[in-house]
A = this chain, B = another copy of it.
Amino acid sequence: MKVYELGERGLIAAIHRLQKTPPRGYLGIGDDAAVLPPSGDGWLASSDMLVEGVHFRSEWVNPGHLGEKAVAVNLSDIAAMGGVPRGLLTSIGLPRDTQVDWVEAFYRGMAKALDEYGVVLLGGDTVGSPGPLIISVTVLGQVEGGAPVLRRGAKPGDRLVVTGRLGASRAGLALLQDGVRWPGRNVTERSVLTAHLMPKARVDAGLRLRPLAHAMTDISDGLVAELVELVQFGGIGARIFEEQLPVDGATAEVARRYRQDPRQWVYYGGEDYELLAAVPPSRLEEARERLSECQVSLTEVGVVTDTPGLTAVRPDGKEEPLNERGAFDHFQLVRVSSGG
């Protein structure tokens, strides 16, 4: 059955049935607005829009994975503030001949991810689209008993650390562009396809880094773009030690296959959804220990400098400026540039 046969109200009812009972004090889907209870903590809010043909391609990603990813990329912004995600609103614009099965699988994927992160589906909107499929997600979160970690605040001498691995999502995209589909043909392919199609929001890691980091952001547009955000305040810069970039074996293998430099994928690839934080050297060991408690690796990739500009220390020790303008731009790249 297609969505135009089911109609808007039928579709909303189907989505409604997938909703779990919200916790006490919350009111979810079904009224003019959702209700969230009073709280002694402040709230965080962030929105993302995903457009078919720009952020994902339906041929490349199954609806369940897309639902999971739509949640994760949005929650990543809350993680980057050191917050706990609480509630989510999803609006979706559907071509009228979209299969109802597709929509249900998408919402089931969202429900699965929401469950995993303990987040309530609060509401949203369901409309027809004469063009591509469009997903717009807004997440509400909280910072428990403290202030959020902003992008502003890094100090010269702070160590730049990243969670997990970088470049893997871009390696997964390279496979998808080459016709490889989930789950891939071996462990390597599956590993980088997972990074691209089913990224995780680093909520636990963000919570643990919050009391230690001077500044933090998530890596959604490549490391360089995020470094630019981090050093835009107060006349500081960053030096990156290329040998220390956490490129894993699977990413390196896929890069070799396509004769690409995996460092370029780290710098400009985008969609890793790892965290980048500036941590004072005295807290570095503590940060690493805290993250090991939630099975997330933390890698020191650079240092905050007292002069503006981004430089990379090459493996041969040569220091070169990083191209700050190479970053990902959704208006320049109207061709499909990413997978969700």
Contacts and interface: CB of A to CB of B under 8 A. Distances in A.
Interface of A: 3-4, 6-9, 11, 25, 27, 30-51, 53-55, 76-78, 80-81, 83, 87, 89-94, 96, 122-132, 134, 136, 138-141, 143, 148, 150-152, 217-218, 327, 329-334
A40 to B, nearest CB: 5
A239 to B, nearest CB: 23
A90 B47 CA distance: 8
Contacts of A125: 47-49, 136
Given A128-B330, A136-B91, A36 B41 contact: no
B42 A37 contact: yes
A33 B143 CA distance: 11
A37 B148 CA distance: 11
Nearest to A134: B134
Contacts of A34: 44-46
Q: How many copies of the shown chain assemble into the complex?
A: 2
Contacts of A333: 128
Given A7-B332, A31-B151, A33-B148, A131 B131 contact: yes
B49 A92 contact: yes
Contacts of A45: 33-34, 36, 87, 89, 122-123, 138, 140
16 contacts: A6-B331, A27-B148, A31-B150, A32-B80, A33-B80, A36-B42, A38-B41, A49-B93, A50-B127, A51-B130, A53-B130, A54-B128, A91-B136, A96-B334, A127-B330, A134-B134
B130 A7 contact: no
A33 B331 contact: no
A205 to B, nearest CB: 14
Contacts of A96: 331, 334
B138 A138 contact: yes
Given A47-B136, A127-B51, A131-B131, A33 B141 contact: yes
A227 to B, nearest CB: 14
Given A4-B334, A40-B38, A43-B43, A77 B33 contact: yes
Contacts of A7: 329, 331-332
* 4 A-B pairs closest in CB distance: A131-B131, A136-B136, A33-B46, A32-B80
A136 B49 CA distance: 8
Candidate in A33, A50, A80, A87 with the most chain B CB atoms within 10 angstroms: A33
Nearest to A4: B331
A3 B37 contact: no
Contacts of A330: 8, 126-128
